[in-house]
Structure 1
Amino acid sequence: KPTYFRIISLDTGEQIARIPGPAFFMFHHINSYQSKDNKKKITVDICGFDDPQIINELYLDKLRENIFPSGAGYLRRFELDLDANTCIESNAKAREPKGIHRESYANSLVPVQFELPRINPIFITKPYRYIYAVRAPPGRFFDGLIKLDVESKQQVAVWEEPCSSPSEPIFVPRPDANHDQEDDGVVLSIILEQHAKRSFILVLDGITFKELARAYLPIHIPLSFH
């Protein structure tokens, strides 16, 4: 069965289109924006899975037995045409299918598994370039932070430390930033040091992804989604 994209008017709150697309599962929508040349064409980016099997893999009984998830979703982009009522996946069949989520891998803009994607909030509903997320490869929990470039279709930066699990990365724009420099700001994430059982707030430079600071907390904060 198809996945349906429901388009809601921001002016009236009413549904103005219901467009069928390929079947997939997702937790998180990344961004959407209208074409500059045609407001009836919308780009939608999501973190997509082939199916909802990940939900079964996150039950506590499996996690307590050290049965880890088969990996997270991939960056998938859909182009919606409200006049034609069509959905086209812009990077469809970019590579040969493989892995658990075969179709999501084959159609991904960047072939890296991740979750909890965030962008510069100034660019929500606008054309954008950078995504910040937690890396989540098969058989492991969140094991690093990544920066993706949707224009070059590459993973352009990684932060990782042994036995450390990051939380959702939050991008904070520099207050006086030039908005032409989309990644001018900092990325914040709470990091759990698993063996030491302690947590710290990590501050990364949004452009270089280099560590600027860390502040240890008086308690350890368990791994969470948000």
Structure 2
Amino acid sequence: MDSWPNEKGFDTNYEQPTPIPLTVKGSIPPYAAGVLYRTGPLGYKIETDKGKIWAAGHWFDGLSAVHRFQIDFNENDEAQVTYRSRRIVDRYLEIVKKTGTMDNITFGAKRDLCKSFFQKVMSMFISGPDSENIGVTVSINMPGGGYAAPSEKTTLVNGHSNGIQTVHVKTDACIFKKIDPETLEPEGLASQRKLHPDLKGPFSAAHAKSDPVTGDIYNFNLDFGRQCIYRIFHTSASTGLTDILASFPGKPAYIHSLFLTETYVVLCVWNSHIKWSGISVLYEKNIVDAIAPFDPSKKAIWYVVDRRHGKGLVSTYESDPFFCFHTVNAWEEPSANDSTKTDIVAELAMYDNLDVVHRFYYDNIISSSKASQVYAGKKRETCLPSHTQFRLSSVNGAVSPSERLPAELIFKANKLVSMELPTINPSFLTRRHRFSYGVTDRLRSSFMDGLVKFDNKTQATIFWETEGHTPGEPIFVADPSGVEEDNGVLLSVVLDGFAEKSYLLCLDAKDLSEKGRAEMEGPMAFGFHGSHKPLGRKYGGDI
């Protein structure tokens, strides 16, 4: 099966600036009403004013866009879905068209190493034209980004309050971009220094974590230098104010996400270390080459920070080396040997090395490219994640955080039943959950080939798959009347590789059976992440 479209099909300009109705088939449940945003590149090639073609080399460097699905229901509870999309890289496009180049820091593009790199360190991250190309994660009503209480400001869509005041897109840097919630037009850039003056480092996690009760957000900021400093910070949803929970030195690394429990923030510095205390980013001018080769002798380091009682860094752990893009969840439970002590269980999609970072160059994933054939055999298997859980024992013990304790591997699932772009029922964030959902790669195409539901108790799996159809990240929408964890639906945008058209798929989260779909008139380029704001849900999920 070959579901990744050919080069012509992938580099589509299917941009839809005004809302269009989609054809709905089946039955989407009324509790799915709301707005679904999706991020990701919309094309990766630009024709310059001189008639030449500029192309991004890495999937993460494609032309950032935001997609918006509005799900409404009529008086007969029949779903009505509209769609619009917009590239949000106006200045970026203008410069490339005019100059035929973009001399900026990217994720994977190669650069001319003869140029001086000891200049304008922070400006390269927050004020250059490269800062236009932001679009990895999307946050609805982000604290510190202009969010106000609903009674003070309300956005109306189709005459109904959907509770969406602000939308921001983010990447693995200290910058974020505000966009209009309806038109998707870019409205401005800001850095984390706006939140707090000490957040002056260039790196951060694209996936901040949100408290499911308060809506407060937690993230890190990494400051490069002779001694690199991690700062764990918190921004209040009620006040918009930011405070630093802990600051500590550590080996700099590319870190896409972190963990949150009811009491703690957990930052794992896994083995994607940045060379030369961060200077390599300026020298290489891309993240891929700035990362040191995977070293199996270097441990992954886990830092546990108290977020409730002002205790700062409370414990440190180490485990065998690995790499990770996405964490799933984390929760606390009493230690088996001492109920007065607390353990943390952390769940993530774990890689054995850094091969997956290199796999996502366009040449390696477009099915019509000869290079993609290299990733069809054994080399491809090294790029697959394992669904994994670790235990951090006695985080509130009397051991100094300067002493590293062992992180216990609870289980590491088979790669062919594991997932990427993982999600859970948002009601179970920061507490023990049973089911995890995500996209799966079982080597049946040049990209993702199905959706999976993984039972963390029995390690049993259920799959949704259709030959030639490639799904994106699933988003869990809980049934408000449900009593079980898997009462709800999954929303995923799927590409029909044969028809070269996409559709919004709605699956029953219990058995992954199809409930309905909303069909588009063309292909929607493969994206990264999304966020769904159901009517009536206040908080939940990564942001």
**TM-score tier (shorter):** 0.7 to 0.9
SS in 2 for 1:55: helix
1:189 to 464, 487, 492: 492
Q: Following the alignment from structure 2 to structure 1, what is the Cα–Cα distance between the partners of residues 417 and 345? A: 20
Aligned equivalent of 1:173: 478
Q: Which amino acid aligns with 2:426?
A: P
Aligned equivalent of 1:25: 323
Aligned equivalent of 2:389: 77
- For residues 182 and 20 of structure 1, do their structure 2 counterparts lie closer, same or farther at Cα, with a shift above 3 Å needed? same
Aligned equivalent of 1:14: 312
Pairwise mapping of residues 50-69 of structure 1 onto structure 2 (< 5 A)?
A: 50-63=352-365, 64-65=369-370, 66-67=372-373, 68=375, 69=380
**CA deviation vs aligned residue, 1:42-69 (integer Å, no higher than 9, x gap):** 0011110111111111112333432434
The range that moved more, 48-57 or 134-143, is 134-143
- For residues 39 and 169 of structure 1, do their structure 2 counterparts lie closer, same or farther at Cα, with a shift above 3 Å needed? farther
The range that moved more, 65-74 or 138-147, is 65-74
- For residues 38 and 47 of structure 1, do their structure 2 counterparts lie closer, same or farther at Cα, with a shift above 3 Å needed? farther
The unaligned stretches of length 5 or more in structure 2 are 1-297, 400-404, 530-543
Q: Following the alignment from structure 2 to structure 1, what is the Cα–Cα distance between the partners of residues 466 and 311? A: 45
What is the root-mean-square deviation in Å for CA atoms of aligned residues?
Answer: 2.0
- Higher helix proportion, which one? 2
Q: Which has the higher contact order (CA 8 A, sep 6+)?
A: 2
Q: Following the alignment from structure 1 to structure 2, what is the Cα–Cα distance between the partners of residues 174 and 39? A: 35
SS in 1 for 2:303: strand
SS in 2 for 1:196: coil
Q: Following the alignment from structure 1 to structure 2, what is the Cα–Cα distance between the partners of residues 62 and 111? A: 20
Aligned equivalent of 1:160: 465
SS in 1 for 2:407: strand
Q: Which amino acid aligns with 1:53?
A: D
Q: Following the alignment from structure 2 to structure 1, what is the Cα–Cα distance between the partners of residues 364 and 481? A: 47
Q: Following the alignment from structure 1 to structure 2, what is the Cα–Cα distance between the partners of residues 131 and 60? A: 29
1:141 aligns with 2:447: yes
Q: CA deviation at 1:109?
A: 7.0
- For residues 182 and 109 of structure 1, do their structure 2 counterparts lie closer, same or farther at Cα, with a shift above 3 Å needed? farther
1:89 to 399, 409, 416: 409
- For residues 111 and 166 of structure 1, do their structure 2 counterparts lie closer, same or farther at Cα, with a shift above 3 Å needed? closer
Q: Following the alignment from structure 1 to structure 2, what is the Cα–Cα distance between the partners of residues 39 and 202? A: 44
Q: Following the alignment from structure 1 to structure 2, what is the Cα–Cα distance between the partners of residues 197 and 109? A: 32
2:348 to 40, 46, 49: 46
Identical residues among aligned pairs (%): 27
Q: Is the 8 A contact 2:487 2:509 kept in 1?
A: yes
**CA deviation vs aligned residue, 1:78-136 (integer Å, no higher than 9, x gap):** 11012363311123xxxxxxxxxxxxxxx327762421110000101101100111111
1:3 to 300, 303, 306: 300
**Size of the alignment, in residue pairs?**
208
**Over alpha carbons, which structure has the higher Rg?**
2
Q: Following the alignment from structure 1 to structure 2, what is the Cα–Cα distance between the partners of residues 75 and 113? A: 5
2:429 to 116, 120, 124: 124
Q: CA deviation at 1:39?
A: 5.5
Aligned equivalent of 2:505: 202
Q: Following the alignment from structure 1 to structure 2, what is the Cα–Cα distance between the partners of residues 13 and 221? A: 47
Q: Is the 8 A contact 1:109 1:153 kept in 2?
A: no
The unaligned stretches of length 5 or more in structure 1 are 92-106
Q: Is the 8 A contact 1:110 1:154 kept in 2?
A: no
The range that moved more, 3-12 or 182-191, is 3-12
Q: Which amino acid aligns with 2:306?
A: S
